[in-house]
């Protein structure tokens, strides 16, 4: 059976930086509140580029880092909750933009856990000897599903994309992966799609339609802290490792207080947790691959480093994966 490695990474975020102070001009908030309650200082907001564009920039960077061409890709998986269209998918748009002639392509929606779900799928395709090179992207333009009058959500999120080339290898780079969901709690983090509407309805709906994120923050917080700790402990158990054996934990970047809680509960020094949310906010499916790429490109990863990535989000969903850096 083939082993799986992350052969290259990339990320891209729109140039437009929006600070907490900028937000305080449009909603009743302050830099002080956002910083102390979340750790976020600024985020990137698109000036017009859609999800496919930012996904493409991240993918190009990952291909370059991996040293392969788009034509060598067998499959493209894009995790997103903010696609350009219902159809064509972002992954199919990417297949065309990159010139990945022989690649199959599909999108998945596991919200902020999307990259880990995508990595899991890619691993299975490789371990099943079906494909050799798979592009996994987490890409979001969350700014288009924000309610810019709701200070409880619009200060938290940002736009961005992260990508990884996942390839077959003789070395073990991607180990245990767990994914899970708790659909019964889905209501605490929602964004509605189009409502039922057709000329044959007995009663036409008068309900006002919107596609904005609505969130019960405290409920998500409670879920997040629980599943983050449990998922990391489960990965450690499966890999027969202790927290001390892990060089870096790369968590979904939602709230510094969530990460801090998990670190304390696991009795791990917070310095082992990779944090960049102060610069990007919560970019949903993009947050983990953006952080992984920053670590890679800044030369902070060495061959053999043991890493755990862990995430949670809408659905509700959660997941974690063990990586051993093999570049």
- Per-residue binding letters, 95-114, with ligand UT7 (x by CB under 6 A): -----------------x--
Ramachandran assignment for 163, one of left (phi > 0), alpha (psi -120 to 50 degrees), beta (any other)? beta
Tell me how far apart the alpha carbons of residues 114 and 77 are, in angstroms, rounded to a whole number: 10
Counts for the chain of helices (H) and strands (E), in that order = 10, 13
CB of 115 to ligand UT7, least distance (A): 12
- Per-residue binding letters, 25-54, with ligand UT7 (x by CB under 6 A): ----x---xx--xx----------------
Q: Which residue has the tokens 């999800």?
A: 51
CB of 38 to ligand UT7, least distance (A): 5
- Per-residue binding letters, 138-157, with ligand UT7 (x by CB under 6 A): -------------xx--x--
- Residues 172 to 211 in contact with ligand UT7, rule: CB under 6 A: none
Q: How many residues does the chain have?
A: 327
Angstrom distances, CA of residue 8 to CA of 23, 59, 235, 299: 35, 10, 23, 13
By annotation, the residues acting in catalysis are: 112, 252, 282
CB of 183 to ligand UT7, least distance (A): 16
Angstrom distances, CA of residue 45 to CA of 16, 160, 188: 6, 8, 24
Distance of CA 262 to the CA centre of its chain: 18
- Residues 218 to 237 in contact with ligand UT7, rule: CB under 6 A: 218, 220-221, 224
Residue count, binding to ligand UT7 (CB under 6 A)? 19
Tell me how far apart the alpha carbons of residues 156 and 277 are, in angstroms, rounded to a whole number: 9
If the CB atoms of residues 149 and 244 are measured against ligand UT7, the closer one turns out to be 149
Stretch that binds ligand UT7, among 119-127, 214-222, 240-248, 290-298 (CB under 6 A): 214-222
Tell me how far apart the alpha carbons of residues 235 and 244 are, in angstroms, rounded to a whole number: 13
If the CB atoms of residues 23 and 135 are measured against ligand UT7, the closer one turns out to be 23
CB of 221 to ligand UT7, least distance (A): 4
Residue in 46, 110, 30 with CA at minimum distance from that of residue 84: 46
**Contact positions vs ligand UT7 (CB under 6 A):** 29, 33-34, 37-38, 112, 151-152, 155, 215, 217-218, 220-221, 224, 254-255, 282, 313
């Amino acid at each position: 059976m083939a082993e799986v490695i992350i052969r290259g990474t990339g990320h891209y975020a729109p140039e437009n930086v929006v600070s907490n102070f900028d937000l305080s001009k449009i909603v009743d908030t302050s830099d002080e509140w956002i910083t102390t309650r979340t750790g976020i200082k600024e985020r990137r907001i698109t000036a017009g580029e859609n999800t496919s564009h930012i996904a493409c920039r991240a993918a190009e960077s990952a291909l370059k880092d991996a040293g392969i061409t788009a034509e060598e890709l067998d499959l493209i998986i894009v995790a997103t909750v903010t696609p350009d269209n219902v159809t064509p998918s972002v992954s199919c748009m990417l297949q065309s933009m990159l010139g990945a002639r022989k690649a199959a392509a599909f999108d998945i929606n596991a919200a902020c856990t999307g990259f880990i779900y995508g990595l899991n799928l890619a691993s299975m395709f490789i371990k099943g000897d079906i494909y050799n090179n798979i592009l996994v992207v987490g890409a979001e333009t969350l700014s288009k599903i924000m309610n810019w009058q709701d200070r409880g959500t619009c200060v938290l999120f940002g736009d961005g994309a992260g990508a990884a080339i996942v390839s077959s290898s003789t070395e073990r780079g991607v180990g245990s992966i767990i994914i899970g969901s708790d659909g019964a709690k889905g209501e605490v983090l929602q964004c509605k799609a189009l409502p039922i509407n057709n000329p044959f309805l007995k009663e036409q709906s008068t309900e006002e339609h919107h596609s904005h994120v609505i969130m019960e923050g405290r409920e998500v917080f409670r879920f997040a802290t629980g599943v983050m700790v449990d998922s990391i402990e489960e990965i450690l158990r499966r890999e027969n490792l202790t927290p001390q054996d892990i060089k870096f934990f790369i968590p979904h970047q939602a709230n510094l207080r969530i990460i801090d809680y998990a670190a304390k509960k696991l009795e791990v020094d917070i310095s082992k947790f990779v944090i960049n949310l102060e610069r990007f906010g919560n970019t949903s499916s993009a947050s983990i691959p953006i952080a992984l790429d920053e670590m890679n490109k800044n030369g902070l990863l060495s061959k053999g480093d043991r890493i755990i990535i862990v995430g949670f989000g809408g659905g509700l969903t959660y997941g974690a994966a063990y990586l051993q850096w093999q570049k």
